[in-house]
């Protein structure tokens, strides 16, 4: 056994020189003289040494395993050593039910590794590792992740739970959603998944799927002709009104969009149809007269929202905080009169580049060459504005 420790488990005794054997014997006597704990530490050192993934203990402990099982070590006087090695193996290896360990038949699996669990449950080893991490369970032993061991009962509770679960891609087909829509609906709490989390992809039970789809059973079916659609689907409405599918779906479920129908008998998310006039009424609200959202102004002027706020603090624009009537979230709006006056008087570098079909650095080069002074710089130095009258020559 100490030849395995000193020279590696693959070293045969007849390959050792007298000096090699002497070194191994000296190390062996030193360790065995320290007692049971030292021998157990030696066994664990052999168990956790770097090397190829081993499914069977014979490859880790050199010749001692076979010697104790079939050789002279099978004699009764070596039973204490055999018992010690057997207990060590049973407590540190992912052995299957029925495996013979030095004359003892394992009645029930005690441990799994990611490799053995992947084999038994039909998953990838990394998927097993991710599932266990999401469950807050870490593997033991100083080994690569795929070889670390977990209690078999923990693996059954976590990995076994997905045996009949539906994968993310299959669930998308059943639900009638895209992957992005699925993630949005999960984040918003409208779609639950029984398995998976931060490290592993979501997997769904039949109950998860049914619970989601049954919400749509109350919407009447109104057949529509391909050349004459009667309403928006949720994805189209979200794009048209610039909101997420979760916001539209919330209005559907809350009854705010009371004229919602289905395009077919199918309960899928993609079959939901919104009344066009009703959707316009709910999502097409204008902001207070004379005010525009700061994001819209940012696009129009070619100025970031941050720089717009900086300019407002200096008196160039009139901003105010407001609240969205539908989402009740805060927003910032810009006074249209102050916006009009600003646009007539000043221009940003980004807007100049857009108007002239050139890159921003070309605008900067021409400004520098003409010696035109910059009126205001952003705090981070990446943006500026100048007076409209000053840039006609460039």
pLDDT tens profile 9-30? 666 666 778 888 788 788 878 8
pLDDT at 227: 42
Q: Count of alpha carbons within 13 Å of 74, Cβ hemisphere only?
A: 8
Spatial contact of 89 and 123, defined as CB atoms under 8 Å apart: no
d(CA 66, CA 69): 5
Distance between CA atoms of residues 124 and 180, nearest Å: 24
| Residue 320 reports pLDDT greater than 80 | yes
Q: How far is CA 313 from CA 78, 346, 383, 385, in A?
A: 87, 16, 16, 15
d(CA 4, CA 28): 10
Identify the pLDDT of residue 153: 92
- Burial code (b: 16+ CB inside 10 Å, e: under 16) for 47-61 equals bbeeeeeebebeebb
Closest to 44 measured CA to CA, from 36, 10, 182, 122: 36
Distance, in Å, from the CA atom of 285 to the CA atom of 196, rounded to the nearest integer, reads 39
CB 11 within 8 A of CB 1: no
CB count in 10 Å sphere of residue 381: 7
pTM exceeding 0.75 = no
pLDDT in tens, 159-208: 877 666 777 888 898 999 998 899 899 888 999 887 665 555 677 877 88
């Amino acid at each position: 056994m100490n030849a395995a420790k000193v020279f590696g488990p693959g070293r045969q005794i007849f390959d050792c020189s007298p000096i090699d054997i002497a070194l191994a014997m000296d190390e062996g006597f030193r360790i065995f003289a320290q007692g049971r704990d030292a021998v157990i530490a030696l066994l664990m050192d052999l168990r956790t040494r770097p090397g190829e993934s081993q499914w069977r203990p014979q490859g880790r402990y050199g010749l001692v395993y076979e010697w104790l099982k079939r050789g002279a070590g099978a004699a009764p006087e070596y039973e204490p050593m055999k018992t010690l090695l057997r207990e060590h193996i049973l407590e540190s290896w992912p052995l299957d039910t029925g495996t013979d360990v030095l004359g003892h038949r394992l009645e029930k699996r005690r441990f799994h590794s990611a490799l053995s669990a992947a084999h038994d449950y039909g998953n990838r080893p990394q998927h097993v590792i991710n599932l266990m991490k999401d469950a807050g369970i870490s593997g033991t032993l100083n080994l690569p992740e795929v070889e670390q061991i977990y209690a078999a009962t923990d693996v059954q509770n976590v990995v076994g739970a997905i045996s009949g679960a539906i994968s993310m891609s299959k669930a998308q087909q059943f639900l009638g959603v895209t992957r992005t829509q699925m993630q949005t609906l999960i984040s918003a709490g409208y779609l639950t998944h029984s398995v998976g989390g931060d490290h592993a992809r979501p997997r769904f039970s039949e109950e998860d799927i049914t619970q989601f789809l049954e919400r749509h059973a109350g919407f009447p079916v109104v057949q529509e002709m391909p050349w004459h659609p009667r309403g928006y689907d949720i994805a189209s409405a979200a794009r048209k009104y610039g909101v997420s599918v979760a916001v539209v779906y919330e209005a559907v479920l809350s009854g705010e969009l009371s004229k919602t129908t289905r395009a077919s008998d199918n309960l899928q998310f993609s079959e939901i149809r919104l009344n066009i006039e009703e959707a316009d009424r709910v999502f097409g609200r204008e902001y207070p007269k004379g005010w525009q959202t700061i994001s819209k102004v940012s696009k129009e002027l070619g100025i970031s929202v941050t720089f717009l706020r900086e300019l407002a603090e200096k008196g160039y624009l009139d901003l105010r905080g407001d609240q969205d009537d539908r989402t009740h979230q805060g927003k910032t709006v810009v006074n249209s009169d102050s916006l009009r006056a600003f646009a007539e008087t000043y221009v940003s570098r980004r807007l100049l580049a857009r108007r002239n079909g050139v890159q921003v650095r070309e605008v900067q080069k021409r400004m520098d060459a003409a010696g035109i002074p910059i009126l205001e710089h952003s705090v981070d130095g990446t943006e500026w504005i100048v007076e409209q009258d000053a840039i006609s020559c460039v």
